[in-house]
Structure 1
């Protein structure tokens, strides 16, 4: 039996809780021990099946102000109240001791609750055994308004999470429609399909209400009131049609009664009903917002639909979803801010003349499909833990044998100061790890020279000349390949060395790093005559790679998944590769092999690469057997 803890806080409507309740019910029915922790207002109708429910001190928001949290009607949630939530959340984790922790929306949303989520994540990360940690998101997110918010969210994902459960279908609405999906994030998306409350759609009904009606639904909160008012205006203009307007339970009684008092004879206004899916299936047409659960109910009913997405404040989620569905011919859409009763009446009459759309491509079995994905995530996590252990074991053997394993670090394509370079150099200084920067001579800037004056342990190597691909079409990229004349290669390499020495002085190291790690072997022998003492490419060197007068020290370990469009490679493979490189060192005589070379490219690093290096490098340094050495010491000609 797998222990699973799901943490969800619905702040406005109840859609987030409904989706997680459906997921909890399916996971529980499959034999898992599920704890659903809810941080929103208690909802008595939430069916969680055999799961356990933990209710945190609730919070909610008003309107589209998701930054201000309320503990009750008109009562702000102060720090003491939020502290009590955090404590209750940690207690729930310690009681459940889950194998899998799922946080709904955070860190791709719910930023106003980040303190409690980060407290939980730090606590879970330090637990032994550490649970698999997953984020759960719907098909569409509210797009981030600031680049730093994206970076922050990705940093949290990279630091804490093993994957992201995507409760959608990329063939219908890809996550990239609402959130920037990097290659690292894309490889960690676990697509479940849509999670629909299928049992709710089969709720029994004692009557035949809804037959051939125009069914209007505005969600569970007051946010749907403008749509309901517009629908009643449209009803007055269509006396031959019968309208039914459902008002959410979260709408205050005074607002509900105001709508009822304005109801024309051909309409009914009533509270939202548990048999809504059956009403929808019997209706002639639905008029609704474009919330996740509502759209799935429309798909289940194969309904004609007019969507008026909620768009107050900076909310864009429903508009994106509605637009994607409209492009597929599944619905008409209207702007909430501009729709009128007349426009809605005309649209209703037009829609009724059209055949029902085919919603069959919207798969709604996401809860069931989540179950094997969780099993896969658990297996991957176990494999990663085993890979970390394999690395720790070989480091321990090296320490017991009193061996010193030398490493060096080469970073390529350095041109100018950037935030990414600053981050790399900050890590270098914090870890006391010398950094060999392979700089492109024709493109290196004076600003880079000034920046490196404050990083005296950084060495500068010669990275070709201009990093331009001269290879014929169809061949692998190369600047210093056999397809160019030796004179051309010698001229550019010599100019590159002269420029690097002129710019960087004592920080310059006369080592040649060919772009793309490819160089014509016959040209390598000419490097000493040009003033080079060394050359560095990628992969274990062999005896034929070391011409007289030239020191060859390569890089061997690259965390970037170049063949998969970038981002971080799979961690287990990287860790096992590193363990194998150290095994080779232990099997050889001390000093017989070149130092193990780490190769990075700071300009294409993302949060996942940086987070992995932040975990790995201190572990290597703290092993008591690894030593990082500088390029200037490695490529210094023998006396």
Structure 2
């Protein structure tokens, strides 16, 4: 599959946004896609673009933190004709490239001064046939506007024009909510990619020696360089290397060199920066995105002086998160001086080197994987999903005094995997309970460790080994009418006892037969084996198919098992849920049974994840949350343990 990709970026202060967009472009091109990178900021040297085609718009920039006044290369304010020329080149590039994927960097979460330009691009993209998949690319931390109406405007643009949001960060370090008020409407569109490392070279292993000082590419780091030179005079016993960004004027650069002591080398930024950093005893820098990725890759001690001029909060937030993990110390910008820097450096040198944190930094490649997955099944991702029939059914049920409840079962868990972690984090995000049908024969110790602190997640018994014993021509079943009941009963009880040993109080005595098929002759034996619950996938015929055995089934599955094995159409999900709600209004047998949502986390692609989250978010917005499975089966507060001799 070869796709056409267009990435539009305009950096106004420093080159971090451009280097990150360039890393994405290289990753798409490296995966065999025809990639165009459109840059609207100051031209910068971008190494290693390879097959990426670079289009430079008439550049704009800003000075300092005045992002309202756009300047040209001569530092003169731009006029309407200049902006019209930029827009014309941008739209022509789009129409000539006819991308399958369009990515806008930062907009609409930022770059409001260029809103007309980006809006024109999105309108032109919407007019293409077929319309490209539209994604927004943002860093880990944003700067939220002070005015709520601007936040609302950004959200409305996202919901109207975008299919997804690539968040280039790791929620274990900095979730987007720390810096931006994420609402339930846009949350399902978020896709965390991990940090984008624009330098993919291997980190060399070198002896730790000396102090490396670095700043961003703009002149905003001048106070840091000057304070570092003051500190260098006070720490003469170690070599210093001060790397100055190319955005610093030559006159200022020479002044820095002239004030440096003999043991401090002042140089322009170098392409082998990472090699220098990996060999340093300690790093002194700001807390920009790319700098922090360098620090995470190299595992070096660091002193951070976050840029905070003009009420900027991005770098301070990032620095605080790193400090909380023991990876850095902070010198606030308003306290910066040579003496203060010396104290922080000496303190850092006296501390042991922290163990590397498991922070994802494969963001460029993951962005490609996510985009490819989204485009493969675009029909299931239609943004204008119609929930009206479900909403109407829920309203009718409420008016009739019918209390509709929902629960969530996920099958085939055996271990703590990235997919399981994503599933549990999704459930936690929306306050959802979840029952994990665990395969006893394959369970790993990591699963028990992962579930220990999950208050709303419980395990269920998923057969024994998930092996089919049905004849070749029959539908698969492990506990179907194909084996003697005593053998199946022994295996079911073995599964219960094995999982109880592994998972303790996190296990509920609920039997979930693989493939949701179970012999009617086995069902009456389940209570004596220690089971109090049964769950399959169908409309149940009885709430208690055997004395002491409560059956609560699942009813809606988002996966197209017989076709694409991706997500079914959104309309099918809504129809299935609506039908389930109607049955609870019209059938006494079904009235008290929670509606069950069934997933299989190990086989989810991005489309299935997206569809699941949209459903969960939609219900949560109506104050409908998936029940905890222990409450669902009437086993709260450990009653299932007492009733089964634990």
**Same fold by TM (over 0.5)?**
yes
Deviation at 1:372, TM superposition (A): 1.7
Distance in 2, Cα, partners of 1:335 & 1:187: 36
**Which runs of 5 or more residues in structure 1 are unaligned?**
392-405, 414-437, 439-461, 472-569, 583-607, 613-639
Q: TM-score, normalised by structure 1?
A: 0.61
What pairs up with 1:245-394 in 2 under 5 angstroms? 245-384=242-381
Distance in 1, Cα, partners of 2:238 & 2:368: 45
Q: Secondary structure at the match of 1:37?
A: strand
Distance in 2, Cα, partners of 1:408 & 1:277: 55
Give the stretch that moved more between structures: 353-362 or 109-118: 353-362
Distance in 1, Cα, partners of 2:54 & 2:394: 52
Deviation at 1:166, TM superposition (A): 0.8
Distance in 1, Cα, partners of 2:225 & 2:172: 32
Q: Secondary structure at the match of 1:44?
A: coil
Query: Is 1:161 aligned to residue 162 of structure 2?
Result: yes
Distance in 2, Cα, partners of 1:291 & 1:581: 48
Match of 1:58 in 2: 59
Distance in 2, Cα, partners of 1:45 & 1:25: 11
Deviation at 1:380, TM superposition (A): 3.8
Match of 2:531 in 1: none
Contact 2:9 2:18 in 1 (8 A): yes
Distance in 2, Cα, partners of 1:322 & 1:409: 44
Match of 1:133 in 2: 134
Match of 2:189 in 1: 188
**Which of 213, 227, 230 pairs up with 2:227?**
230
Q: Secondary structure at the match of 1:77?
A: coil
Q: TM-score, normalised by structure 2?
A: 0.60
Match of 1:73 in 2: 74
Distance in 1, Cα, partners of 2:56 & 2:180: 30
Contact 1:27 1:371 in 2 (8 A): yes
What pairs up with 1:399-548 in 2 under 5 angstroms? none
Deviation at 1:201, TM superposition (A): 5.7
Q: Secondary structure at the match of 1:36?
A: strand
Distance in 2, Cα, partners of 1:238 & 1:463: 76
Q: Secondary structure at the match of 1:75?
A: coil
Q: Secondary structure at the match of 2:143?
A: coil
Deviation at 1:248, TM superposition (A): 0.4
Query: Is 1:124 aligned to residue 121 of structure 2?
Result: no
Deviation at 1:202, TM superposition (A): 5.9
Match of 2:408 in 1: none
Match of 2:48 in 1: 47
Distance in 1, Cα, partners of 2:399 & 2:332: 54
Contact 1:201 1:275 in 2 (8 A): no
Distance in 2, Cα, partners of 1:307 & 1:409: 50
Deviation at 1:45, TM superposition (A): 3.2
Contact 1:22 1:47 in 2 (8 A): no
Give the stretch that moved more between structures: 334-343 or 85-94: 334-343
Query: Is 1:111 aligned to residue 108 of structure 2?
Result: no
Whichever of the two has the greater Rg, that structure is: 1
Contact 2:19 2:46 in 1 (8 A): no
CA-to-aligned-CA distance 1:442-480 (integer Å, 9 cap, x gap):
xxxxxxxxxxxxxxxxxxxx979xx9x9x9xxxxxxxxx
Distance in 1, Cα, partners of 2:372 & 2:65: 37
Change (3 A) 1:580 1:183: closer
Distance in 1, Cα, partners of 2:569 & 2:255: 61
Match of 2:523 in 1: none
Distance in 2, Cα, partners of 1:250 & 1:386: 42
Deviation at 1:218, TM superposition (A): 1.2
Distance in 2, Cα, partners of 1:408 & 1:295: 46
Deviation at 1:579, TM superposition (A): 12
Distance in 1, Cα, partners of 2:278 & 2:315: 22
Distance in 1, Cα, partners of 2:30 & 2:104: 20
Distance in 2, Cα, partners of 1:575 & 1:125: 26
Deviation at 1:75, TM superposition (A): 1.1
CA-to-aligned-CA distance 1:403-452 (integer Å, 9 cap, x gap):
xxx99997999xxxxxxxxxxxxxxxxxxxxxxxx9xxxxxxxxxxxxxx
Distance in 2, Cα, partners of 1:330 & 1:51: 35
Q: Secondary structure at the match of 1:42?
A: coil
Q: Secondary structure at the match of 2:68?
A: strand
Match of 1:494 in 2: none
Contact 1:24 1:49 in 2 (8 A): no
Give the stretch that moved more between structures: 355-364 or 165-174: 355-364
Change (3 A) 1:305 1:384: closer
CA-to-aligned-CA distance 1:76-135 (integer Å, 9 cap, x gap):
111110111111110010011000000011011111111100000111112110110000
Deviation at 1:73, TM superposition (A): 2.5
Distance in 2, Cα, partners of 1:575 & 1:118: 33
Q: Secondary structure at the match of 1:199?
A: coil
Deviation at 1:211, TM superposition (A): 5.9
Distance in 2, Cα, partners of 1:384 & 1:331: 41
Query: Is 1:99 aligned to residue 100 of structure 2?
Result: yes
Query: Is 1:221 aligned to residue 222 of structure 2?
Result: no
Distance in 2, Cα, partners of 1:370 & 1:408: 33
Contact 1:143 1:316 in 2 (8 A): no
Q: Secondary structure at the match of 1:4?
A: strand
Match of 1:635 in 2: none
Distance in 2, Cα, partners of 1:281 & 1:50: 30
Name the Cα RMSD after superposition: 3.5
Change (3 A) 1:387 1:285: closer
Distance in 1, Cα, partners of 2:211 & 2:342: 11
Match of 2:179 in 1: 178
Distance in 1, Cα, partners of 2:244 & 2:147: 35
Match of 2:453 in 1: none
Deviation at 1:254, TM superposition (A): 1.0
Match of 1:476 in 2: none
Match of 2:435 in 1: none
Match of 2:86 in 1: 85
Contact 1:42 1:55 in 2 (8 A): yes
Distance in 1, Cα, partners of 2:101 & 2:574: 28
Change (3 A) 1:63 1:408: closer
Distance in 1, Cα, partners of 2:384 & 2:340: 62
CA-to-aligned-CA distance 1:172-193 (integer Å, 9 cap, x gap):
1101111111122221111111
